[in-house]
Amino acid sequence: MTNEIPFGDVWLAALTPRSFLQRSARVFPERSAVIYGARRFSYRELDERVRRLAAAMRSLGVGPGDRVAFLCPNIPPLLEAHFAAPLIGAVLVAINTRLNAGEVGYILDHSGAKLLFVDSELAHLAAPHLGTVATLQAAITIADAEAGAPGQRLEGPEYEALLAASEPLGWDEAAPVRETDTISINYTSGTTGRPKGVMYSHRGAALNALGEVITARLDSRSVYLWTLPMFHCNGWCFPWAVTAMGATHVCMRRFDPAAVVRLIAEHGVSHFCAAPTVLIMLLNSPAITELTLKVPLHIVTAAAPPSPTVLAAVEALGATITHVYGLTETYGPHTVCEWHPEWDALPPERRARLKARQGVPYHHAQELRVVDDQMNDVPADGTTLGEMVMRGNNVMQGYYRQEEATAQAFRGGWFHSGDVGVMHPDGYIELRDRAKDIIISGGENISTIEVEQAIYQHEAVLEVAVVARPDELWGEVPVAFVTLKAGAELGEAELIAFCRERLAAYKCPKAVVFGDLPKTSTGKIQKFRLRERFWEGRERGIN
């Protein structure tokens, strides 16, 4: 394949994660690449399936730059798409499976998808749009035997039949790509408006995948369980990272704590990724008592900042947990709480508190700052708040077809995360809040994360979110929304008193509301919906 770029008197191969499969198929042809239910594919077989899919896409009219959408769970076809689409220079659009039909239609239309591959169980979300999205030329149904119910079969070819009818594309027939070409578009969850399409490049995807190899300590013996949705930031680039090392993917159609415990024991799982809310679900499942580790288990966690309490509980199971931080706009993880061996000797609570920090940039993601409103670096004192901004290899190319939003996000030449944090004297950052979540009470800033971490220490608490409520005297005060563990009992006065033992009085919630918490389709708590209960029809100084 012609995939070289000039560099002085020599030629360099363009960085692209698609080459990772070619290498592993050559080096580890008979090693298990994919396990899903009763099915197993070796790297030789995965390579052939990917090349058949690439040939099928090309035969259906897909060429360089065309968008190919996939709407399916964590099953082999979506993993295969991560290599087949870039093999012909196409752009993968992995759609969130938890969206409604209107949101799916918007993404298909906005991305200009040419093909849609859809799991039969989710076909009803796509069916209304097959005749209305002008660019869409064909829909391919994925009939997954593990789905249970047959679902809906759309008019058009079926996935496995399409692969069987296609001759594998030769690697020498792959489309040439430049490092800066778009490899995928990931649509944000759209909690406050229409989702934005975040564009990833071949170079950024390759580098971030290799960053995951280093951070998660993947090698050819690793067995990776797909608990993290592949549609979310391309699974934090782990489809490419696991494949790069010739490791094994264990696919999982839907998250279920009992199934996680079973698969860990059955296949000797060594790695998985999960948001803190998923870890909480796992910790509080009756199945966790059956957890058996045949090999050391390494968990990578990110999303909402995990509480030290949750981190300590996970490590008490015998697992090692690595805390990372990032956004869809940074290919998933951008920083890691890089661990110091000397910290192992510290008391458990102190270790967990250190691990709750977001840390330092990945090896390939060096440019990260905490700045004030004038883009000046805040003091590295662990207390002065500022916005985290970044730029470099694993920051998005921009928002697809949204130039104004892109310019706003990159004002001053840096990507603005919207996250507020501090810089510690040792160079580690710590997230204190989203800018819109900070509570300003009587002129004092209150980090909702700090309050939440205190509440998480109560043994009856399953999940918590703290938001601002308007107050005539103080401007605004904190209110806690709390979900209790099954069978637990806890009153408002008791919880507030618990907080007063751990926090300054002005930081303690002035009220507690018990019940379930609203979440996005990726499991993040929707604080804006909680705030709306108090702020409807009123102006708030923080946007």
Model confidence over 258-295: pLDDT tens digits? 999 999 999 999 999 998 878 988 998 999 999 989 99
Angle at 316 between CA 313 and CA 322, to 5 degrees: 75
Which pLDDT does position 1 carry in this prediction? 46
* pLDDT above 90 as % of the chain: 73
The residue-averaged pLDDT of 229-248 equals 97
Q: Looking at residue 94, what DSSP letter applies? A: E
Which pLDDT does position 191 carry in this prediction? 47
Q: Looking at residue 337, what DSSP letter applies? A: -
The residue-averaged pLDDT of 198-220 equals 97
> Where are the chain's structural domains?
1-202, 446-535
CATH architecture of 1-202: 3-Layer(aba) Sandwich (3.40)
> 10 Å Cβ neighbour count for 371?
17
Return the minimum-mean-pLDDT range out of 273-277, 406-410, 464-468, 472-476.
472-476
pLDDT digits (tens, 9 = 90+) for 45-92: 999 999 999 999 999 999 999 999 999 999 999 999 999 999 999 999
The residue-averaged pLDDT of 164-173 equals 97
Which pLDDT does position 482 carry in this prediction? 96
pLDDT for 335 beyond 80: yes
Which pLDDT does position 396 carry in this prediction? 97
Q: Distance (Å, rounded) from C-alpha 334 to C-alpha 327?
A: 8
pLDDT for 542 beyond 60: no
- Determine which helix (DSSP H) or strand (DSSP E) holds 510, and give its type and residue range: none
In the CATH scheme, what is the code of domain 446-535? Answer: 3.30.300.30
Higher local confidence (pLDDT), 112 or 503: 112
Q: Distance (Å, rounded) from C-alpha 107 to C-alpha 186?
A: 10
Kindly provide the residue ranges of all beta strands, DSSP E only, lying in 74-144, ordered along the sequence: 91-94, 113-119, 138-142
Domain 446-535 in the same topology as domain 1-202: no
Region of 372 on the Ramachandran plot (φ > 0 left; ψ -120 to 50 alpha; else beta): beta
Which pLDDT does position 116 carry in this prediction? 97
The residue-averaged pLDDT of 431-441 equals 81
Average pLDDT of the chain to the nearest whole number: 91
Which pLDDT does position 450 carry in this prediction? 86
Which pLDDT does position 62 carry in this prediction? 98
Q: Which residues contact 481 (CB under 8 A, 6 or more apart)?
A: 464, 465, 466, 467, 512, 513, 514, 515, 517, 530
Return the minimum-mean-pLDDT range out of 27-31, 169-173, 309-313.
309-313
| Structure token digits, residue 225 | 């369980």
246, 220 Cβ separation under 8 angstroms = yes
Which pLDDT does position 60 carry in this prediction? 97
Return the minimum-mean-pLDDT range out of 143-152, 201-210, 484-493, 525-534.
143-152
- Residue whose entry in the numeric block shows the structure tokens 């415990």: 261
Which pLDDT does position 537 carry in this prediction? 63
Which pLDDT does position 107 carry in this prediction? 95
For residue 173, which of 59, 49, 88, 84 has the smallest C-alpha distance?
88
pLDDT digits (tens, 9 = 90+) for 4-17: 666 666 677 889 99
- pTM given for the model: 0.85
* pLDDT above 70 as % of the chain: 95
Return the minimum-mean-pLDDT range out of 8-12, 136-140, 355-359, 391-395.
8-12
pLDDT for 177 beyond 90: yes
Q: Distance (Å, rounded) from C-alpha 366 to C-alpha 289?
A: 41
Helix (H, G, I), strand (E, B) or coil at 348: helix
| Structure token digits, residue 166 | 């296609």
The residue-averaged pLDDT of 484-510 equals 93
